[in-house]
């Protein structure tokens, strides 16, 4: 007594379904390689941006230290000038004033115009004047701003790399369902698995093409 013969539906559609599964797996493999490539490129961009952020933060600290030293020196010079003026030592006061850094000279001249001895609303010191512009302090702030911008770009690149990795997981499930469908004998479960694989492939592909590309 012989067993049941092969299902005629499988015989008729088997080749077509297997061909579809092979094509689907091939396309999925190509896109998986692409998502892996993009993930690696965005990871590289993240590393570059984080390195840039670290370098700018280091420079910011360096310029901040320079600014702090120069401000302390300006304060000492200004205090010495005030003491010379207070003791009516005009030669010493003139000697010190002639050696004011440009930023301190401009701020002091503007401060004296506010008549600080008689004007209660005048700034307390030249260092409170808008004219006291400190290049090193400005550079420190600029470097810190660049560091923040680079760090923000690094976080964006990291998220984009993660997004590509997540899509790679979806493509792996497509490969799993498509490969499993070729091992089944009956039409309905094969169609179900290929349908799941196909829908997942289309959805993941649409998401991938919406992502930014890094070359």
CA dist 77 and 93 (Å) reads 10
CA 169, chain centre distance (Å)? 24
Span 117-173, pLDDT tens digits? 889 899 999 999 999 998 999 999 999 999 999 999 999 999 999 999 999 999 999
Residue with tokens 């992502």: 211
With a CB cutoff of 8 Å and minimum separation 6, the contacts of 29 are: 175
CA dist 12 and 8 (Å) reads 6
Span 20-59, pLDDT tens digits? 999 999 999 999 999 999 999 999 999 999 999 999 999 9
CA dist 194 and 178 (Å) reads 6
């Amino acid at each position: 007594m012989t067993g049941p013969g092969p299902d005629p539906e499988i015989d008729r559609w088997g080749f077509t379904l297997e061909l579809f599964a092979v094509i689907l797996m091939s396309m999925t493999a190509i896109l998986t390689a692409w998502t892996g490539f993009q993930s690696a490129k965005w990871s590289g961009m993240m590393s570059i941006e984080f390195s840039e952020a670290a370098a700018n933060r280091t420079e910011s600290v360096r310029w901040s230290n320079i600014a702090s030293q120069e401000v302390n020196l300006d304060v000492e010079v200004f205090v010495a000038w005030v003491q010379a003026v207070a003791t009516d030592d005009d030669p010493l006061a003139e000697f010190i004033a002639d050696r004011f850094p440009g930023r301190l000279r401009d701020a002091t001249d503007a401060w004296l115009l506010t008549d600080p001895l008689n004007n209660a609303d005048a700034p307390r010191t030249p260092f409170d004047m808008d004219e006291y512009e400190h290049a090193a302090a400005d550079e420190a702030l600029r470097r810190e701003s660049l560091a923040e911008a680079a760090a923000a770009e690094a976080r964006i690149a990291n998220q984009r790399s993660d997004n590509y990795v997540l899509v790679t997981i979806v493509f792996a499930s497509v490969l799993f369902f498509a490969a499993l469908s070729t091992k089944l004998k009956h039409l309905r479960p094969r169609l179900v698995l290929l349908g799941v694989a196909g829908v997942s492939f289309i959805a993941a592909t649409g998401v991938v093409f919406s992502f930014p590309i890094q070359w």
